[in-house]
Amino acid sequence: MNNQAIDNIEFLILIAGRKQKDAILERICSIDCRVVNTVYGKGTVKPNYLLDMLGLVPEENKIIMTSVLPKEKADAIFTMLLDEFHFGQPNSGIAFTLPISGMSF
């Protein structure tokens, strides 16, 4: 694989609640993500007593999705996550990309 092809590929890392897994997976696959890997995890946020009494406990069950995508699709993914899954709001999820060229093999 030549360097020009590698420079055009991004590695997506996405962390969200498990309840959103199927919907997010369907949407990112429709935007041309490839090699999607899903891992289940558990968050470490500890709610305080008052929030627990009010039922405002953050979700502990998380998913970590990784995917390989063309660089030009990254903006579409982030726009979709902000608009449809409200990733701009606290405790909704986090997503970022890394260039494949910056990763070691």
How many domains, the chain?
1
Question: Does 17 reside within a domain?
Answer: yes
| Interval 26-63: pLDDT, tens | 999 898 887 889 998 876 666 665 566 565 556 668 89
pLDDT given at position 3: 62
pLDDT given at position 5: 66
Residue-wise burial string across 28-53, b where 16 or more C-beta atoms lie within 10 A, e elsewhere: beeeebeebeeeeeeeeeeeeeeeee
Compute the distance between CA of residue 77 and CA of residue 14 in angstroms, rounded to an integer: 10
pLDDT given at position 48: 66
pLDDT given at position 34: 78
Compute the distance between CA of residue 66 and CA of residue 74 in angstroms, rounded to an integer: 13
Select the more confidently predicted residue: 12 or 56. 12
Question: Does 30 reside within a domain?
Answer: yes
* Cβ neighbours around 20 below 10 Å, total: 19
Range of the domain at 26: 9-99
What is the domain-level CATH number for residue 44? 3.30.70.120
Confidence of residue 7 (pLDDT cuts 50, 70, 90): confident
